[in-house]
Each structure stands twice: as structure tokens, then as C-alpha cells.
Structure 1
Amino acid sequence: MDIVHCLDDRYAPMCATAIVSLCENNPNSDIQYHIISASLSQENKDALKEIINRYGAKVKFYDVDQTILKDCVIKEGDHVSLAAYLRILIPIILPENIETILYLDCDLVVCENISNLFSIQLTDFSCGAVCDGGTNDIRTYNRLAYDYEKGYFNSGVLLLNLKYWRENNITNNLFKFIKEHPERLMFWDQDAINSVLAGKIKRLPFKYNMTDPFYQVNPPLRQEYLDEIEQSLLNPVILHFATANKPWYEDNPHPLKYKFYQYLSLTKWKNQYPIRASFKRRCLKAIEKYLNISVTRRKDNSLYRKLN
């Protein structure tokens, strides 16, 4: 199985954790990693390579000139970097003989065997992806200007049909959309991918990308989705920490964040986390306590449901 991660130095510990989680739960699999970065130090490359080799997997690193991302939108205060857009380049960076890959964000852990993902047929589809927490929010479609029926998907787990992307010039079309419609991009590459590929994304089962909104009280999704999500709450195949408040922050309330530390403990970064929240966030917490209000309630335990 061909696996792709895109990152910068800031996310090397998280990428290592994701790699360990996949390898631990997919023993005896033929795994080839492709690591794409515009600014990954040799020290971090060596650390990731050591982990990958430990499990008998293989790795190839690809260095990208970041100027190619000059039109990509990152706003002040965003919790992502330009590395989020690197996945757009996958079809033109990877060798032509690779036609299907699994792209994974670094802020996730693989909790079970994923070999069945690669048996999913993508004929006539650009990729397979799981619906995002905002898939039933009409404001998403109003902002991106395409039909509600086509769905809105999370780009953190993508089963990519590289043959389709290459034949239909998708990478160039995405960069063209980003340059022409920067005002529409609230969620970076994800908004561009959904807009350009609307109607050509195959919906994958929720278990393959269980994001934070699915664990929160009263997620804004239709009942048929909620029924499927309920079956995967405790046993996700891929658990994705997709909000700004990540499990490596000490105040993160996610009910399954222990899974992140389970795999982090098998890396050299095991003693570096959790870290304190930012000074700004600590100040907001102090204001909440003093005024008895809830400025940061969206990150509190009250937002997440209790799991049995």
C-alpha cells in the first residue's frame, strides 16, 4: 500500500505518531511511504526513516519548492501552514506507475487494519473521502457555489485515483481555482478540492475518518449519517483530530485522545507532550473564570458526548 504524508518540521512528531499507528495495526503489509515537504530538516527525515524501517516499511522523501504555493491562502491565526496544500501536488510528484494512493493528514491515528480501503473501486471517481462535519450545512454550499446534493468531504483522508487526476489535469485546475477564488477558501485545500471535484468524490464509510464533530453533542448531520457514525464512535478505523485544539495540548477534551498518546509513546518525542495551551488561550480561560462566562466553550468537555 502506498501512503502519503505532507508536512513541515512542526508536524514531524505527529507524522511519526501516525506512521507508528498505521504500522502497528497493519503488520506484514507491504507499505511504501511517500513524504512530501517544502521544509523538512534532515534530522526529522532521519527520525521518520528510522521508525519506518523499524517496521520493515519503505520510504521516499520529496522536496518541493514552496514558491509553487504562492497563491495559496493562509490567514493570520490559521492552525495550518502552507503544507496543507502540498497534497494537491501528489499526482505530479509521485511516479506515473502509481495509480492509487492513500493520503493521510498527520493529526490522526490509524486504529485498525486498512487493507480493505485499497479494495474500494474508484472508477470514474477522482477520489474516495468521508463526509465532513459541515456536509449538511447549507452555508458551505452557498460559500463554495455548488449543489448541496454533491456533498462536502474532509480532505484529511483521501483515497486518490491518480490516473483520474492526471488525465483530467486536476492539480492545475485546483491551483487555478485557488488563484481565482481566494475569498471562498475558509478551509484551505479542502474547499478547493470539494469545489473542483464536486460530484466526482466517492463517499467512504465514516469509520475511515472519524473527526471531532462526530464525537460532539448533537452534531449537525442528518439521521442516516448519525446512525452510521454511532457504530464507529468507540472503534474508528482512522481517528482524526481535525480541530484546532489538538490532542497534544494539555486542555484537549477529546474522549479518545489517549489513542494519540498510545502511539506517540513509541516515538522519540514521547516525553515532549502534552504542551500548554497558548498564552492567549490561557488568558481567555482566566477571563471565563473571573466573569463566569464561556468564551472558549467550544473546546470544553461539555461539547463532547460521553462514550460508554
Structure 2
Amino acid sequence: MHIAISFDQNFITPTYVFLTSVFNNNQHEKIFFHAIATGVSDKDKQDIEDYIQQHGAEIEYYNIDDKNLTNLIIPEHSYFTVATYYRLFFPSLVPAHVEQLLYIDTDTVVVGNLKDLYLTDVRPYPAGAVLDTVVAVRPDLGIDELGYYFNAGVLLINIPIWKEQKISEKSIQFLVDYPEKIKWVDQDALNAVLYRNVYKLAGGYNVTFYDIPKDLPRKKYKEFISDKYIIHYTTGLHKPWSILGENKFRYVYHDYLKKSPKSKERKYKNYKVDIKSASFFVKVRILEYLYDYPMIIKLLKRR
């Protein structure tokens, strides 16, 4: 399996967690990682390569010329970094013999075997992706019909078709031509360019915060993810390393963190909280507990 990942210095720990989750759930698969890592020291790159090789896998790092990124905007007040654009360059960077490439964001954990996903035949489309359950339509991008806008955090790319249709070039041009339309960086550009031209993957391959029922009781957590494959920690607010994050499956990330080379790091990064945020934290955690007792929730709603 050829898997593409991109990250910067701020995402080294999440990358280790991601890799650990891949290895734990794909122990008998041969995996080759293609990576773009900017601002990452040679030592950190080597440490990651050593960890990957310890699990019988391989990795190749690629360099991106900053000139390719100068015209690509990052929306104000967003948590995105320029690293999010790297996925656009993988099809032109990987060796010619690689025809199928699975791109996965590194703010994810893998909870199932990826072989069936990787072997999915997306032809005649250039890529497969999971529909976004939050964004229904985007008329500004030309998407005015339900069931077409997708989340680009997991992309199964058929490289020959992708190259033939010049998807990367068209996406970059869209970013340059219509910066005012960009909310979700290259995901918006890809959706505009690939409208009606994507193979629709099953939702379990990209489970975001918004796919998780708010009233899901803790005793049903394992059942819920038993048929899922990739949990994607979308939105800047709900990352699993945020103490105020509401993602119920942050514990899955923490479990793999404990198994990773970064096991001694703290689960949460932002310990400095004020009275307002502390109150919010307590409310969220109590609600998660109370969802195991629906009668109490009903009584509280009546009051």
C-alpha cells in the first residue's frame, strides 16, 4: 500500500500517533509511505524513518519548492497551515510505477485494516473520497446539488487519471483565481474541480466529529467504531490534544499515543484555562457521562 502523508514541526506527535495506529491495524500489510515534511529537522525525519522501518515499512521524503506555495492563501483566523496544500503535489512526485495512492491527513487515527480501501477501483474517476456531512452545498464553488461536496482528508487517488485530467494544476489555478471563495483551503479547490467526478467512498473511511452522534453513550463507543476505519479529528476546536475538545473519540488518539514513541508526552497541550472554559470543560464531561443514563437527560430537559 502506498500511503501519502504531509506534516510540519507542529504535527510530529500526531504523525507518530497516526503511524502507530496504522501499524497496529495493518500488521501483515506491506506499506510504503510517501511524505512531505517541511520545517522538520533531519533528526526528526530520521527518527520517524527508523520507527517506520522497525515495523517493516518504508518511507520516502519529498521536497517542495516554496515558490509553488507563494500564491496559495491561508484564510484568516483558521487553524490551517501551508502543509495542507502538499497533497496537491504528491501525484507528480511519487515514482512512475505507483498508480494508486492513498492520501490521509495526519490528524487521524486508523482503527481498521486499510487493504480493502486501498484496493478499491475508483475508475473512471481520478479519486475516491467520503462525502462531507456538514457542508451540503457550495454554490460559490459551482456545487448547488446535495451529495457531492467531499472531505479531502482521505483521498484515494488514481494517479494516471488524475494526471491525465490535470487535477492538481486545475486546483492550484482555482486557488489563484478565486481566493475569495476559499474557506477550507485546497479542499474547496478540489471540490470545485472534481464536481461530479469523484468515486464516493463509504463513510467509515473518514469519520469526522460531525459524524458522531452527540447523544452516543460511552457504553456504545466501541460498537460505533467497530465497523469504521479512519477517525478524522476535524476542526481546530476538537483536536484530541485540546483539553476543551468535544470529540468523544479523543480517547482512541490517547490510546495510540501511549503506544507510540511519544508516550511520555501529555495528552493535552492547552492546560491554561480560565473560569469560563473550565466551566465548559466540566459541562461537556458531565454530559458525556450522563448520556449513559437517558432518563436523567430527559429529566434535565424537562426542567
Q: Which amino acid is 1:258 matched to?
A: Y
| Correspondence 1:250-289 to 2 at 5 A | 250-277=243-270, 282-283=273-274, 286=276
- Aligned-partner Cα distance in 1 for 2:289–2:188: 26
- What residue is the counterpart of 1:221 in the other structure? none
Q: Which amino acid is 2:224 matched to?
A: L
TM-aligned CA deviation for residue 252 of structure 1 = 2.1
Matched residue count: 286
Establish whether residue 233 from structure 1 lines up as the match of residue 230 from structure 2: no
TM-aligned CA deviation for residue 168 of structure 1 = 1.3
Offset from partner CA, 1:100-126 (integer Å, 9 cap, x none): 111010011111111111221111111
Q: Which amino acid is 2:69 matched to?
A: L
- What residue is the counterpart of 2:110 in the other structure? 110
Q: Which amino acid is 1:272 matched to?
A: E
- Aligned-partner Cα distance in 1 for 2:231–2:34: 21
1:247–1:257 CA contact under 8 A, matched in 2: yes
- Aligned-partner Cα distance in 2 for 1:90–1:232: 35
Could you tell me the TM-score, scaled by structure 1's length? 0.84
Q: Which amino acid is 2:65 matched to?
A: D
Establish whether residue 96 from structure 1 lines up as the match of residue 104 from structure 2: no
2:122–2:199 CA contact under 8 A, matched in 1: yes
Q: Which amino acid is 1:269 matched to?
A: K
TM-aligned CA deviation for residue 45 of structure 1 = 0.6
Pair 287,237 (structure 1): closer, same or farther in 2 beyond 3 Å: closer
- What residue is the counterpart of 1:68 in the other structure? 68
Q: What stretches of structure 2 of length at least 5 have no aligned partner?
A: 216-220, 294-303
Q: Which amino acid is 1:260 matched to?
A: Y
TM-aligned CA deviation for residue 150 of structure 1 = 5.5
1:249–1:277 CA contact under 8 A, matched in 2: yes
Pair 55,288 (structure 1): closer, same or farther in 2 beyond 3 Å: closer
1:206–1:232 CA contact under 8 A, matched in 2: no
Offset from partner CA, 1:174-233 (integer Å, 9 cap, x none): 110000111111011111111111111111011111100011439xxxxxxxxxxx9983
Q: Which amino acid is 1:89 matched to?
A: F
- What residue is the counterpart of 1:145 in the other structure? 142
Moved more, 27-36 or 75-84: 75-84
- Aligned-partner Cα distance in 1 for 2:6–2:192: 21
Q: Which amino acid is 2:153 matched to?
A: G
- Aligned-partner Cα distance in 2 for 1:26–1:270: 20
Offset from partner CA, 1:86-141 (integer Å, 9 cap, x none): 00001111112211111010011111111111221111111111111224x34xx2
- What residue is the counterpart of 2:234 in the other structure? 242
- Aligned-partner Cα distance in 1 for 2:245–2:183: 23
Give RMSD over aligned pairs: 2.7
Establish whether residue 214 from structure 1 lines up as the match of residue 211 from structure 2: yes
- What residue is the counterpart of 2:84 in the other structure? 84
- What residue is the counterpart of 1:200 in the other structure? 197
Identity %: 26
1:216–1:305 CA contact under 8 A, matched in 2: no
1:18–1:106 CA contact under 8 A, matched in 2: yes
2:143–2:149 CA contact under 8 A, matched in 1: no
Pair 232,181 (structure 1): closer, same or farther in 2 beyond 3 Å: farther
Q: Which amino acid is 2:258 matched to?
A: S
Pair 270,185 (structure 1): closer, same or farther in 2 beyond 3 Å: same
Offset from partner CA, 1:51-109 (integer Å, 9 cap, x none): 21111101111121222111112133211200000000011111122111110100111
Q: Which amino acid is 1:242 matched to?
A: T
- What residue is the counterpart of 1:3 in the other structure? 3
- What residue is the counterpart of 1:225 in the other structure? none
- Aligned-partner Cα distance in 1 for 2:145–2:261: 45
Offset from partner CA, 1:1-35 (integer Å, 9 cap, x none): 00010111111111111111011111121100111
Match of 2:164 among 145, 167, 172: 167
1:217–1:304 CA contact under 8 A, matched in 2: no
Establish whether residue 27 from structure 1 lines up as the match of residue 19 from structure 2: no
TM-aligned CA deviation for residue 305 of structure 1 = 10
Q: What stretches of structure 1 of length at least 5 have no aligned partner?
A: 219-229
